[in-house]
Amino acid sequence: MTKLILIRHGQSTWNAANRFSGWVDVPLNRRGRIEATLAADKLKDYQVDVCFTSLLVRAMETAVICLTENEQICNGKSPVIKHNSDELQWHGWDQYEGKAFEELPIFTSMALDERFYGDLQGLKKAETAEKLGKELVHQWRRSFSVRPPGGESLSDTMNRTLPFFKERIITHLKQGDTTLIAAHGNSLRSIIMELDKLEPEEVPNLELATGQPIVYDVDEQGNVSNKLILN
C-alpha cells in the first residue's frame, strides 16, 4: 500500500470574489496561503516522494507551501519544480537543472489544469445566475456533460486528466511513492470519480473544500482500500 494525497488549492483571489476562474492564472490570497500552511501541518505524519500540480500558479503555490512549511513532509529532501520545456516552450529550461541529490520532484502538467469555463471566465457566479437563471448556471457548473458557452464540460476535463493520471501518476503509486497532487476542483473531481467509482449523476454532490487534504490508500493495481479527509 502507498498513499495518494489530493488537495484542492487554497482560496484564490477570484474564489474570494466568487468569479469563474478556469484557466485565468490568479494567485492565492492571504486566506489561501493560510489554508495551505494548515494543510502542511495536517500532513505532518506523511512523507511525500513526488508531487504533481497543474500549470496554474494557485495550485503550484499550494504545493510549494505544503512541501516547505513542514520539513517532515519532505523528509530532508529539497522540492524542485520540473519544468516541461516541450509543453511550455520555455527555451529548454529543463536542461539547466542541478544534479538530482535528495530532491523531491514537482511535476507540472496542463492535464491537471482547472476546467476551462470559456465565456464565463471572470464573471461573478451569483450575478451570472441571476441574469441567466440559477438552474442553467448550476448545470454549467456541476453537470457531467453540459458545456458552458465556449468552455469544457466535466467530461471534457476528465478526458485530459484521467489519461495523465493513469499513465503518469499511477506509475509512481505502483513504485510505492507517496504522491501529492495539488490541483483544482474539477480536475480533482475527475480523479475522485475514478478512485471512488462514482457515476456521472453523483458528480453534482461532490464538493471539495479549498486547502483540505484527502488521503487514499492505494495498492499496486491502483485500487483504493481506504480514504481519509483531513479536517
Grid cell 471572470 in the structure block, residue: 122
Answer for the pair 121, 22: CB distance below 8 angstroms, yes or no. Answer: yes
The pTM assigned to this predicted structure is 0.93
pLDDT digits (tens, 9 = 90+) for 160-209: 999 999 999 999 999 999 999 999 999 999 999 999 999 988 887 889 99
Q: Give the chain's end-to-end CA distance (angstroms, integer).
A: 23
The residue ranges of every structural domain in the chain are 2-113+163-229
**Identified catalytic residue from 35, 61, 114, 152:** 114
pLDDT surpasses 60 at 28: yes
Which of the four CATH numbers 3.10.180.10, 1.10.287.310, 3.40.50.1240, 3.40.50.300 does domain 2-113+163-229 have? 3.40.50.1240
| Gyration radius (Cα) of the chain, Å | 17
At 1, the pLDDT band (50, 70, 90 cuts) reads confident
Summarize the confidence of residues 108-136 as an average pLDDT: 95
Summarize the confidence of residues 23-33 as an average pLDDT: 97
The per-residue pLDDT for 203 is 80
Concerning whether 138 is annotated as a catalytic residue, the answer is: no
**Identified catalytic residue from 9, 83, 172, 184:** 9
Concerning whether 184 is annotated as a catalytic residue, the answer is: no
CA 223 to chain centre: 20
CA 7 to chain centre: 6
